Chain A
Amino acid sequence: RGEADRSRTTAKDRVQRIDPYGFERSEDFDYDSYEEFMSTYLQILTRRSIKWSKLLQGKSNVERNLKVKRYVRKGIPNEHRSLIWMTASGAQEQMEKNPGYYRKLLEAEHDAKLVDTIKTDLNRTFPDNIQFRKTAEPCLQHALFNVLVAYGHHNKNVGYCQGMNFITGYLIIVTKDEEKSFWLLEALLGRILPDYYTPAMLGLKTDQEVLGELVRLKVPAVSQIMVQHNVMWTLVVSRWFICLFIDILPVETVLRIWDCMFYEGSKIIFRVALTLIKHNQALILQGKNFPDICDKFKEIIHGAFVEDCHAFMQKIFTEPGSLSMTTVNKLREMCRARILSQEQ
């Protein structure tokens, strides 16, 4: 009987229930299409890994040039991810300039309210990841707590904002190092992203509007249906920005997006968002009413299109068409002014 069973094993029997980052696969995980995708993606990963090793040749830094940019867009192998994120974002430089700074933040007296707020979210950050369980050894909740508390004291203007916990969680999973995670978070919040997480969340509100403007230019039919049914962009995309696609898109896809974000900056977020919307235009336009349209936006973040991270990452540079930082900055300026005038 055993023999017969083995020859009839399914993808679900062969694929591990926990992904390489510690996340349990969801109940509706499509094992068959995942196995099919991985059979080709593993070859790509191997090829990229060899290329990267040649490029780096044991170096601990990487230059900024077209070749590296191309390499980053094709994906950073997980073994080099931490290093490339650190150097590309300037986090490495900051860490070296400020030796002992992170420790000092941890040892200093802590704001009780900040600590409380962070503690409220510890158990609610990746309970589906075995590394974050209280029973895990080491339990990454401790590292998460430390990095968030340190950051909250480092940047008192931001303190702690929900969403930072998920981002920090990913940084810890990738770097396996508290201090590096701290400096990467600092690079993201301090330099790469606009002010998404400050109490007024003006940067978030602005970028949601900017996306709305970009959709109006590039996918006008979707823009129309949103206006027609009074669906505010914030309703369907605020999580995309706040969590940088964590818990929205598949883990591997998120990491590939972050590869580019650390190297090229925040406009990558718009590329991803526009690709999701433009590619699924027909589906979104089927939405008949307000909740229906909201459901469509939940649908477009699942399925083969986003699971195949490699093809998806090629798409984000073609599907939305050209998108210069000048355009993004102009729109940001315009939307920010509009929001400020409305709020007054």
Chain B
Amino acid sequence: MSETYDFLFKFLVIGSAGTGKSCLLHQFIENKFKQDSNHTIGVEFGSRVVNVGGKTVKLQIWDTAGQERFRSVTRSYYRGAAGALLVYDITSRETYNALTNWLTDARTLASPNIVIILCGNKKDLDADREVTFLEASRFAQENELMFLETSALTGENVEEAFLKCARTILNKIESGELDPERMGSGIQYGDASLRQLRQPRSTTAQSKQQCSC
């Protein structure tokens, strides 16, 4: 359990039922396609430590149930999320049409500053496509989202989606746009960063604590 990291980010995976949220998470964490499993009820956790721009970041990822009515229950998990994968299924227009609602939930319940990447999943099923890349890309632009088409089956762009989101958050921290110390930012310093980053800033209480032990 002696893993050290500079930051811990809380991530959400949200979107309609059957879009492949759990499979994306599984592919990201286990590096394989999760076949044959029950759908998610409530919420599941996953975590992985990644290297982004020279920093180690622990992603704590919350995978949520997609059925509409569960939103009233899962909404309580949104608070304090730093990033989110907003997932739709490129072969289902209905899941695409629901995006606006999910987006509103994320921005109002998690944080207005939440960094969101839109994922058009099931890229491998191009023959059954109901949502074009261009259309979704436009939606992403209009709503200030990053955008990728992913395949939890082949793994295409899955790692990229999580990393891109993490990288953006990190950039925002470095530029001062995001303050990790603000309550509910969804960002925490890890042990490593307490040593490396915060040591020079001798005024904060926590670095004093670090020194004394």
- Which residue numbers of A lie inside 8 Å of B, CB to CB? 117, 120-121, 124-128, 161-163, 166, 198-201, 204-205, 232, 234-235, 238-239, 242-243, 247, 291, 294
Contact = CB atoms under 8 A, between A and B. Distances in A.
B37 A127 contact: yes
Given A199-B72, A204-B73, A238-B73, 8 more contacts: A121-B39, A125-B39, A128-B37, A161-B67, A199-B68, A205-B72, A205-B73, A232-B76
27 contacts: A117-B17, A121-B18, A124-B18, A124-B37, A124-B38, A124-B39, A125-B38, A127-B37, A161-B67, A161-B69, A162-B39, A162-B65, A163-B41, A166-B38, A199-B68, A200-B69, A200-B72, A201-B69, A201-B70, A204-B73, A205-B73, A234-B42, A234-B76, A235-B42, A238-B42, A242-B42, A247-B38
A201 B76 CA distance: 14
A120 B17 contact: yes
A201 B72 contact: yes
Contact of A243 (B18, B41, B72, B73): B41
Given A199-B69, A205-B73, A238 B41 contact: yes
Nearest to A248: B41
B110 to A, nearest CB: 15
Given A235-B42, A235-B77, A291 B47 contact: yes
Nearest to A158: B69
Contacts of B77: 232, 235
Contacts, number: 67
A127 B37 CA distance: 6
Interface residues on B, range: 20 to 34
A244 to B, nearest CB: 11
Interface in B60-107: 60, 65, 67-70, 72-73, 76-77
Given A162-B17, A200-B72, A201-B69, A126 B41 contact: no
A294 B44 CA distance: 10
Contacts of A242: 41-42
Given A121-B17, A162-B65, A163-B41, A128 B70 contact: no
A128 B34 CA distance: 13
A166 B73 CA distance: 19
A256 to B, nearest CB: 21
A106 B83 CA distance: 44
A232 B75 CA distance: 12
A251 to B, nearest CB: 13
B67 A162 contact: yes
B43 interface: yes
Contacts of B42: 234-235, 238-239, 242
Contacts of A125: 38-39
Contacts of B43: 235, 238
Contacts of B68: 199
B45 A291 contact: yes
B3 interface: no
A174 B58 CA distance: 44
Nearest to B69: A199
Given A162-B67, A163-B41, A291-B45, A120 B18 contact: yes
Contacts of B70: 162, 201
Given A120-B18, A161-B67, A126 B38 contact: yes
B36 interface: yes
A235 to B, nearest CB: 6
